[in-house]
Structure 1
Amino acid sequence: MQVWIVEYIYDDGGSVGIRTAKVNAPDYETARQFALGDAPAKDFVMSLHPESEDQFLGRPTIRARQMSGQVVNEVDDPDDDLEDNNDA
């Protein structure tokens, strides 16, 4: 059984709603079916990916605000540091 991360972005009464959930499922398709049935609203977009040690908390919220056109404070991408260190 694998743990999958579901990120929902949906209309929450005129504002952007964001919800993150975990799903235990043996494969992508099973996790996807469960995630679709557990959606927080009728209209939504979602991403589904296996849980990973490399995930950056807050990235779904930042991405959702960018997609909705809301102003986002500049947040450094943690992967940029890795790329800079590889140049040395």
Structure 2
Amino acid sequence: MQVWIVEYIYDDDGAVRINTANIRATDYETARSFAVANAPAPDFVMSVRPQSEEQFLGQTVIQAHEMTGKIVSDLPDPEHEDEDGDF
């Protein structure tokens, strides 16, 4: 038995929602089938991955916000601003 991490991104009346679940299953196909059957909405995107030490809390949320333009990872460093305020 292995732990699988399921990450859903779905629309909730115009708002982007993200849901993460842990599933215990013997293989990928079993975990995927269970994840599809228990999805939080009719229309969704999901990823199913085996649990690992490389995952960190919030990774999916950060990626979803970057995809929707709500946050940007490459912000200019304020210490390197030009004198006239241009970046």
What is the TM-score of this pair, normalised by structure 2? 0.79
Partner of 1:28: 28
Aligned in 2, Cα 1:25/1:19: closer, same or farther, shift over 3 Å? same
Unaligned runs of 5+ in 1: 75-88
Structure in which a larger fraction of residues adopt helix: 1
Unaligned runs of 5+ in 2: 75-87
* Larger Cα-atom Rg: 2
Count of residue pairs the alignment pairs up: 75
4+ runs of 1 displaced by more than 4 Å? none
What is the TM-score of this pair, normalised by structure 1? 0.78
- Cα separation, 1, equivalents of 2:26 and 2:10: 26
Q: Does 1:12 align with 2:12?
A: yes
Percent identical among aligned pairs is 62
Supply the AA of the counterpart residue of 2:6: V
Q: Secondary structure at the match of 1:20?
A: strand
Please report the RMSD computed on the Cα atoms of aligned residues, expressed in angstroms: 1.6
